[in-house]
Amino acid sequence: MRFGPDGHMRVYEWKQKSLGWEEVADLLTDSIGSCGYPIVCGTYGISTNGQCSCPGPKNGTDYFMQVNDRLPDQGCSLITPLSLYIKVQNVPSAITLSPEQKNHGKEKKLLLIILGSGTSLFGLFGLIGILVLRFLKNKDFDEAEECYLDHVPGLPTRYSFGDLQAMTENFNKKLGAGGFGTVFESTLINGTKVAVKRLDEIGFCAQRSHSLLVYEYMPNGSLDKWIFQRTHEFTLDWHRRKKIILDIAKGLAYLHEDCNKKIAHLDVKPENILLDENFNAKVADFGLSKLIDRDQSQVVTIMRGTPGYLAPEWLSSIITKKVDVYSFGVVLLEILCRRRHFDRSQPEESMHLLGLFKEKLKEKQLLDLVDKYNEDMQLHKEEVVDMMKVAAWCLQSDFAKRPSMSVVVKVLEGVVDVEENIDYNFCNPPIPNTRARVMHKEVSGDSALLDSVLSGPR
C-alpha cells in the first residue's frame, strides 16, 4: 500500500510473471470521487462533475487559460498577473517613533543578538564536550574489550563487521533463518565459502551492536529436504544414509563424552543436521543445548525442543543426555522410512510413525516400512531392518535402558551387537507447553534456582 503525491491511496500486488508490482486497488476513489483529489485537474485547474476547467473571468478579465485544450487535466496557466489585498480595520495609517524609542529598540535588538549568540555558543561547546566524552569512553571500551579477547585462549578467527559486510555483499545472499538469527552466504578472501549468521539481540561480538557468527558453508543444506521430498533431485541411496546416520551418532557422542562439560543438544531433528558437498553430516543449531557437569548424571530443566522428538522423561523435567539418544532414534527411523514422525497424508492408523513401527515390530513386518520410493533401499531391505532395531533400542521409554551414543557408534560400526532384551512398548513423545515459565536447577548441585524462559520448537 502506498499514499502517492497525487493523493491516491493505492494497493499493489507482486506479480511473479512480470517480476514487478501491479496496482490492484485505489482505496479512496470510490468514497470521495475523482474530484476529491487536490491536483486531479493540474495546477489552477477546477474539477466539476468529473470535468476539468479553468477559473472563469472576473470583471471581464480572463486570468487563466488551459495549458492544452485537448487535455484539460493538464492544468491552467496564468495569463494576467494577480494581486491580493486584505481589508483590515482600526489600523492607523502611519506610526511615528520618537528618537528615544528608536534607540531603545536598537539596544534591545543588540541585547537579544548577544544573548542568542552566547546561548548558541554554549550549547555548541556542550555538544562537542559530550561527543568527545562518548568517543573517549567508546575507545576505552574497545581497548579493554580487545585486551580481554587477546587473553581468551582457543578463539576462532575474528572478523570485523566491515569485513563480514563486504564478504556477504552487504548481507545480500540469504540462505535461511532460524530461531536466533538469519544466515547469509559469504566467500572468504581465499575463495572458501562460509555461512554467516547474524544474531538477533543475543550473543557476543567485539563490535557491540553487531552480533555475527561464521560457520562452515554446507552446500547440500539440511537433511530434511533429502528425506522428506519425494523427488529425483533429492534422494539418498543406502550407502549415503548409513554414512549420515553414523556421522550424526559420532557428533552426538562427541558432545556427550568428549567435551570438557557434557553437552545435551536437546533439539536433534533432520532440520538441524547439515550436509556438506560430500554429504558428511554435521549436528548444528545449539540454541537449546545445555551444559551438564561431568559429576552430574541428570538435571532438572524446562521442557524444550521440537514436538515429536521429545523423550518421555521430559514430562517429569528430569533429563539426562539420553534424551538426545531418544531423538536420534526418531531421526533414524525417519531416514530409513523416508517419512516424518507424524504424517497427516497417511491413513489415521499410520499417521504416527512410532505407533506404526511398534505394530510392525510385533507383527514382524518391518520390511513394510523401508523407503518404497528408492530402489537401492529396497535392494538392502535386510540391512535396513537390522538398523531399525538400533532405533528401537534408542526409543526405550526407560532412559536407563537406552544405549549411550558411543555404544550406538560401535553398533553402527559392527563392533557391538544390539541389545536383545528390548521393550517394544515405547510411547509417542510428549508435546511441550512452550509458553510455560518455570524454574530450573541442577539436581546434584547446591546452587540456587534460576528463573529461565526457553524458546519453543522452531
- Cell numbers 475523482 correspond to 34
Q: Which of 26, 237, 267, 423 is catalytic?
A: 267
- C-alpha cell belonging to residue 26: 485505489
CA distance 167 to 198: 13
**φ and ψ at 364, to 5 degrees?**
55, 45
**φ and ψ at 216, to 5 degrees?**
-65, 135
Q: Is 197 annotated as a binding residue?
A: yes
Closest among 61, 103, 100 to 82, alpha carbons compared:
61
Q: Count of residues for the chain?
A: 458
CA distance 359 to 54: 86
142 is catalytic: no
The C-alpha torsion from 103 through 108 and 113 to 114, rounded to 10°, is 100
Between the alpha carbon of residue 165 and those of residues 15, 137, 254, the distances in Å are 31, 25, 33
**298 residue type, one letter:** Q
CB atoms within 10 A of CB 161: 15
Residue ranges in 151-300 assigned as alpha helix (H) = 161-167, 224-228, 238-253
- C-alpha cell belonging to residue 145: 574489550
Helix (H, G, I), strand (E, B) or coil at 353: helix
Enumerate the β-bridge partners of residue 256: none
Return the exposure string of 103-112: e unless at least 16 CB atoms fall within 10 Å of the residue's CB, then b: eeeeeeeeee
Helix (H, G, I), strand (E, B) or coil at 241: helix
With contact defined as beta carbons under 8 Å apart, do 302 and 436 qualify?
A: yes
With contact defined as beta carbons under 8 Å apart, do 63 and 79 qualify?
A: yes
**φ and ψ at 123, to 5 degrees?**
-65, -40
**φ and ψ at 186, to 5 degrees?**
-145, 160
Which residues are part of a known binding site?
197
Q: Which residues are annotated as a binding site for ATP?
A: 197
Which residues carry out catalysis? 267
